[in-house]
Amino acid sequence: MMFFEPRIAGNTGSAIRLSAVTGAPLHLVEPLGFDLSEPKLRRAGLDYHDLAHVVVHPDLTHALDSLQGARILAFTTQATLRHTDVTYRDDDVLLFGPEPTGLPDEVLGHPRVTHTVRIPMLAGRRSLNLAASASIAVYEAWRQRGFDGAV
């Protein structure tokens, strides 16, 4: 999973914990809206920081260059394709935007973005929490792959 310019330390801390328990790498694209040593980040990630695979990239170009060949699935409320209608592959990157704006148009329209994907929700709601969205998507991808490595 990849968080583009995340702003809230607690959400990223939760994603670090998600990375640790699922094995999904977490790519963070700078600038970050917090310092990686912030107490809220540490608290949300609990003691899972050493078990997670977290990579920080200076910008989106560097992040995508490091993931050559991967499909980039950008999650947005603007998409029509549901997250459950995607057949996930091992090399997929699930891309999420910052709180509260989501992914900007220039990222959604980036030539490396393979698909835009949405998580269904009731009409009239703006969006899900970033960490919750990432959890829903990562677990669906992992479920489709038979929860490889899980106990």
Write the pLDDT tens digit of every residue in 33-71.
988 876 766 665 556 778 899 999 999 999 999 999 999
Mean pLDDT on 63-85? 97
Contact 9, 34 (CB under 8 A): yes
Specify if 72 maps to a domain: yes
Specify if 75 maps to a domain: yes
Domain that holds residue 52: 2-144
What sign has the CA pseudo-torsion 10, 11, 12, 13? positive
Question: Which pLDDT does position 124 carry in this prediction?
Answer: 93
Specify if 150 maps to a domain: no
State how many domains the chain has: 1
CATH number at residue 21: 3.40.1280.10
CA distance 21 to 59: 26
Q: Which residue do the tokens 């989106």 mark? A: 60
With a threshold of 0.75, does the pTM exceed it?
yes
Question: Which pLDDT does position 43 carry in this prediction?
Answer: 61
Specify if 119 maps to a domain: yes
Residue 119 has pLDDT above 60, yes or no: yes
Report the number of secondary-structure helices (H) and strands (E) in the chain. Answer: 5, 7
CA distance 18 to 45: 8
Helix (H, G, I), strand (E, B) or coil at 45: helix
